[in-house]
């Protein structure tokens, strides 16, 4: 009876999410309702809920999760201070004279914004407002322009220090220890956020390279879709464009290098590096007038996003508690361990489920709800590296985030796109990039060293 209630509870959560009801309240409300129903049918003991306060206290004292607010502050400050706009404008002038050059510039700047912001929604809105009208004004095909912006903005899901990677790293660390303890290893190894950051770098850079090769291919075989920018008579000549490029690029690049390099080099924890990044973003913004006026709205936006994330986490914690109390984890383990194909079949099933859930749930919700249930089961299976599994999950979530028809990135872009860009244009434009993403998942499947080689070189083990 308990297993049946657990399955129905998952279906009820998905149905409630489709109606647009707030996620955190959906998770908590449905969980409480099914806890009461389970208690009435004898499927669960309500005393189990007594563990919830201690779990919430543990969330609020989690050192890794403390990195979330300053990283969000850093991203919002970079957005509000118009540093991103200056980067896009400068790099567009530098590369735009070549066929497809503006698209290449957009992709390269998008990588920097992804690393600086780490939040897909903010990156998509920024690029949609600044870049998309510029690309259309210079004659770019509407589908190509929309697809380039949406795909590049979604890199914020995979490029360190992405918020998704921080949360995924925290959940995988817990799951990996649970899996080892269940196997009788009472001195378990750990996997850290820094491990996952290092594991995501090579796949992230390869994705950027594949994006660029696609844009270059379009420029060669369909030049009318990505024409070069017309010369600007007022543009600076000689070495002036390169000087402007260096001025616009060096400071943000230095900030990203310090933040990410200190984490990967073991000099600072993610929380310490995030604090440096937050202060650094204020110093970058201070080069422009009116930084004092930005501090309050940036702090307010940071508090809003942080509260949303932690409220979802609390709701997901209650969901996980009730789901396990109803025996849902036992049911999931039985399904995965008896799946045809063994370990490979189990991983493919989980990846397919994550991809499908990406149409209904945000990445944060999937990480908080699904990963704690399936990851300990998968990590008990032979031959599964937790870093590889985390990178596979991150790339998978990134793909579902931009996959038609329900990818959240597409809705973010639709909300800020000019009227002449139809939803059909966005969907058609993103398809080649989705295929590239799926190709990366296949590459990671057959070449796990793409995710594990760099962490192994940096940290050994």
CA distance 117 to 40: 47
Helix (H) or strand (E) holding 178: helix 163-182
Helix (H) or strand (E) holding 319: helix 291-325
The per-residue pLDDT for 218 is: 92
CA distance 459 to 461: 7
- Spell out the residues 6+ positions from residue 186 whose beta carbon is closer than 8 angstroms to its own: none
Sequence ranges of the domains in the chain:
2-39+51-230+244-459
- pLDDT by residue for the chain (461 residues), tens only, comes to 667 888 888 888 878 877 767 777 888 888 889 888 888 888 888 888 888 888 888 877 777 778 888 888 887 787 777 776 677 667 766 776 677 888 888 888 778 777 666 667 667 777 777 778 878 888 889 999 999 988 988 887 888 878 888 888 888 988 888 888 888 877 778 888 888 989 999 999 999 999 999 999 999 998 888 888 766 555 555 556 667 666 667 777 788 788 888 888 888 888 888 888 888 888 888 876 566 778 888 888 888 888 887 888 888 888 888 888 888 878 887 888 888 888 889 999 999 888 887 776 777 778 888 888 889 989 988 888 999 999 999 999 888 878 877 677 887 788 778 888 888 898 999 999 999 999 999 999 999 999 999 998 887 75
The per-residue pLDDT for 430 is: 92
The per-residue pLDDT for 290 is: 63
CA distance 276 to 288: 19
Q: Whose CA is closest to 125, among 135, 110, 144?
A: 110
- Phi-psi sector, 20: left (phi>0), alpha (psi -120 to 50), beta: left
Helices (H), 338-417: 342-357, 363-369, 371-379, 386-401, 408-416
Q: Whose CA is closest to 398, among 123, 103, 134, 73?
A: 123
Q: Is 228 exposed, middle or buried (0-12, 13-18, 19+ CB in 10 A)?
A: middle
As a residue count, the chain comes to: 461
CA distance 227 to 218: 10
Neighbours of 419 (CB within 10 A): 5
* Residue showing tokens 């990846």: 351
Neighbours of 105 (CB within 10 A): 25
Return the DSSP state at 137: H
Q: Whose CA is closest to 73, among 250, 300, 307?
A: 300
- Phi-psi sector, 22: left (phi>0), alpha (psi -120 to 50), beta: beta
Structure-token pair, residue 108: 């390269």
Structure-token pair, residue 447: 């070449």
CA distance 249 to 9: 49
96 CA to centre of own chain: 29
The per-residue pLDDT for 433 is: 93
Return the DSSP state at 47: G
- Spell out the residues 6+ positions from residue 171 whose beta carbon is closer than 8 angstroms to its own: 367, 368, 371, 372, 375
Report whether 443 contacts 188 (CB < 8 A): no
The per-residue pLDDT for 142 is: 92
């Amino acid at each position: 009876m308990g297993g049946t209630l657990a399955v129905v509870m998952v279906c009820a959560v998905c149905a409630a999410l489709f109606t647009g009801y707030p996620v955190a309240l959906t998770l908590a409300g449905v969980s409480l309702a099914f806890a009461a129903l389970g208690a009435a049918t004898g499927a669960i003991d309500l005393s189990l809920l007594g563990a919830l306060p201690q779990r919430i206290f543990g969330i609020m004292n989690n050192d890794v999760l403390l990195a979330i607010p300053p990283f969000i502050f850093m991203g919002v400050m970079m957005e509000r201070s118009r540093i991103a706009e200056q980067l896009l404008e400068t790099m567009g002038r530098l590369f735009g004279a070549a066929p497809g050059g503006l698209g290449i510039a957009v992709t390269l700047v998008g990588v920097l914004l992804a690393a600086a912001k780490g939040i897909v929604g903010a990156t998509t809105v920024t690029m949609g407002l600044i870049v998309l009208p510029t690309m259309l004004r210079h004659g770019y095909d509407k589908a190509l322009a929309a697809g380039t912006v949406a795909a590049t903005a979604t890199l914020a899901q995979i490029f360190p220090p992405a918020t998704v990677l921080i949360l995924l790293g925290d959940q995988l660390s817990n799951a990996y220890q649970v899996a080892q303890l269940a196997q009788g290893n009472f001195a378990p190894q750990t996997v850290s956020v820094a491990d996952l950051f290092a594991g995501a770098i090579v796949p992230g850079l390869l994705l950027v390279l594949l994006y660029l090769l696609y844009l270059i291919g379009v420029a060669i075989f369909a030049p009318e879709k990505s024409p070069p920018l017309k010369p600007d008579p007022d543009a600076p000549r000689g070495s002036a464009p390169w000087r402007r490029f260096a001025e616009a690029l060096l400071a943000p690049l230095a900030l990203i290098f310090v933040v990410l390099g200190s984490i990967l080099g073991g000099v600072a924890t993610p929380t310490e590096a995030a604090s440096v990044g937050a202060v650094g973003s204020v110093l970058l913004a201070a080069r422009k007038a009116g930084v004092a006026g930005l501090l309050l709205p940036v702090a307010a936006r940071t508090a809003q996003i942080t509260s949303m994330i932690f409220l979802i986490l609390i709701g997901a914690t209650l969901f996980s508690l009730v789901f396990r109390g109803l025996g849902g984890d036992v049911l999931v383990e039985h399904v995965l361990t008896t799946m045809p194909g063994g370990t490979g079949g189990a991983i493919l099933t989980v990846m397919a489920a994550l991809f499908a859930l990406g149409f209904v749930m945000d990445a944060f919700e999937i990480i908080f709800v699904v990963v704690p249930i399936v990851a300990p089961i998968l990590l008990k299976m032979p031959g599964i590296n937790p870093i590889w599994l985390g990178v596979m999950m991150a790339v998978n979530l990134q793909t579902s985030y931009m996959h038609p028809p329900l990818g959240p990135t597409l809705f973010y872009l639709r909300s800020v796109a000019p009227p002449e860009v139809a939803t059909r244009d966005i969907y058609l434009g993103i398809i080649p990039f989705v295929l590239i993403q799926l190709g990366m998942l296949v590459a990671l499947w057959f070449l796990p060293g793409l995710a594990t080689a760099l962490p192994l070189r940096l940290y050994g083990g």
